[in-house]
Amino acid sequence: MNKVTIVGSINLDTNLRVQRMVKPGETIHGKEHYTAAGGKGANQAVAAARAECDTRFIGAVGNDAAGDQMLDLLKEENIDVSGVEMLQNEATGQAFITIDDNGENAIMFYAGANYAFGPKEVAQNAELIETSDFVIAQFETPLEATTEAFEIARQANVKTILNPAPGESNLPEELLKATDIIVPNETEAETITGIHVKDEASAKEAAKKFHELGVEVVIITFGAKGAFYDYNGHSELVPAFKEKAVDTTAAGDTFIGIMSSILEKDFSNLKDAILYSNKASSLTIQRFGAQPSIPFKNEIK
């Protein structure tokens, strides 16, 4: 069983189902409204925990009802939240998500407490990182906090997985040099490398750029097409499982959290781990909500 620490965001998601996406200046009726636990970091932690990882979390919530609720839900998933700060005078992060009948989503994100913790708070929880097999981070929290976590991990020979979402350009050199695995989608890969990623050939070109920046393993997710990887001189597109999507929220988070649960530290089973994660994501997209849609290990098998 892998030990995984996530440094990332915790949000309360407000979801609205609609027939189609609204146009500027237009008002339309919603079909359904509900709230659910979310945040890319928390989603990835829940995926790892449901895959039966020893899962820890470093992050922050506000001292409010939403913060209490999110912490309780993480605890119910058997996630160690000793590294989660409850901050005074900060609101718990929130996301506002619209989902149409094709399963596509549009997300607006308010960071709140997610942007109010940094390197100091990460350093205080160094032991969680140093005793892990993998550390995962995204970009819904400060880059400085992620860089601190990855540098601690590198010194302790702990493998790092970076999900560069939302996409950011001009990433700190020290962050990429401390990243073992990077997992962007096509758009995020283009934002970082400047290469328009549309197929395997362009994905290979982008992967070369990532390697030049110091990243050992590159995995570019292509949604319904699957996931492309480039590692140790070999590249391949691992096909997705074809299922009808009703809500793609948390599909990428599921992929990363599940992958961390079975990936060997020497990456010897990389392709099998990607295939397993593709299967998990295919289950996620058939359900509504972020964390409610993430499958358990017995479902994937």
Kindly state whether residue 268 falls inside one of the protein's structural domains: yes
Furthest CA-CA distance within the chain: 53
In whole angstroms, how far apart are CA 172 and each of 10, 119, 128, 157, 178? 23, 14, 24, 20, 10
Q: What is the band of 224 on the pLDDT scale with cuts at 50, 70, 90?
A: confident
User: How far is 150 from 136, CA to CA, in rounded Å?
Assistant: 9
User: How far is 123 from 139, CA to CA, in rounded Å?
Assistant: 18
Looking at the chain, the whole-number percentage of residues with pLDDT higher than 70 is 100
Both tokens of 170, joined, read 């001009």
Beta strands in the chain (DSSP E): 3-7, 11-17, 32-38, 54-62, 80-87, 93-99, 105-110, 134-137, 159-162, 181-182, 217-221, 226-231, 234-239
**Residues of the binding site for substrate:** 11-13, 39-43, 140, 253
Residue 248, pLDDT above cutoff 90:
no
Which residue range is the domain that position 222 belongs to?
3-22+32-293
**Domains held by the chain: number:** 1
- Across the range 166-171, mean pLDDT stands at 88
pTM, rounded to two decimals: 0.93
What pLDDT is recorded for position 226? 93
What pLDDT is recorded for position 301? 84
**Residues of the binding site:** 11-13, 39-43, 140, 185, 221-226, 247, 249, 252-253, 278, 284, 287, 289, 293
Kindly state whether residue 168 falls inside one of the protein's structural domains: yes
Q: What is the band of 249 on the pLDDT scale with cuts at 50, 70, 90?
A: confident
What pLDDT is recorded for position 203? 96
What pLDDT is recorded for position 49? 98
Q: What is the band of 60 on the pLDDT scale with cuts at 50, 70, 90?
A: very high
What pLDDT is recorded for position 261? 96
Both tokens of 78, joined, read 């058997």
Kindly state whether residue 271 falls inside one of the protein's structural domains: yes
The answer to whether the beta carbons of residues 143 and 162 sit under 8 Å apart is: no
What pLDDT is recorded for position 91? 97
> Which residue reads 């934002």 in tokens?
191
Kindly state whether residue 173 falls inside one of the protein's structural domains: yes
What pLDDT is recorded for position 159? 98
Catalytic site residue from 180, 253, 266, 272? 253
What pLDDT is recorded for position 245? 86
Buried/exposed 92-119: b ≥16 CB within 10 Å, e otherwise = bbbbebbbbeebebebebebbbbbbbbb
**Residues of the binding site for ATP:** 185, 221-226, 252-253, 278
Residue 218, pLDDT above cutoff 90:
yes
Mean pLDDT (the chain, rounded): 95
The answer to whether the beta carbons of residues 70 and 259 sit under 8 Å apart is: no
DSSP, collapsed to helix, strand or coil, labels residue 207 as helix
What pLDDT is recorded for position 258? 97
Residue 292, pLDDT above cutoff 90:
no
Kindly state whether residue 66 falls inside one of the protein's structural domains: yes
CATH number, domain with residue 145: 3.40.1190.20
Q: Is 253 a catalytic residue?
A: yes
Kindly state whether residue 298 falls inside one of the protein's structural domains: no
Kindly state whether residue 301 falls inside one of the protein's structural domains: no
The answer to whether the beta carbons of residues 237 and 199 sit under 8 Å apart is: no
Kindly state whether residue 96 falls inside one of the protein's structural domains: yes
Residue 232 CB neighbour total at 10 angstroms: 9
**Residues of the binding site for K(+):** 247, 249, 284, 287, 289, 293
User: How far is 131 from 147, CA to CA, in rounded Å?
Assistant: 18
pLDDT tens digits, 106-149: 889 899 999 999 999 999 999 999 999 999 999 999 999 999 99
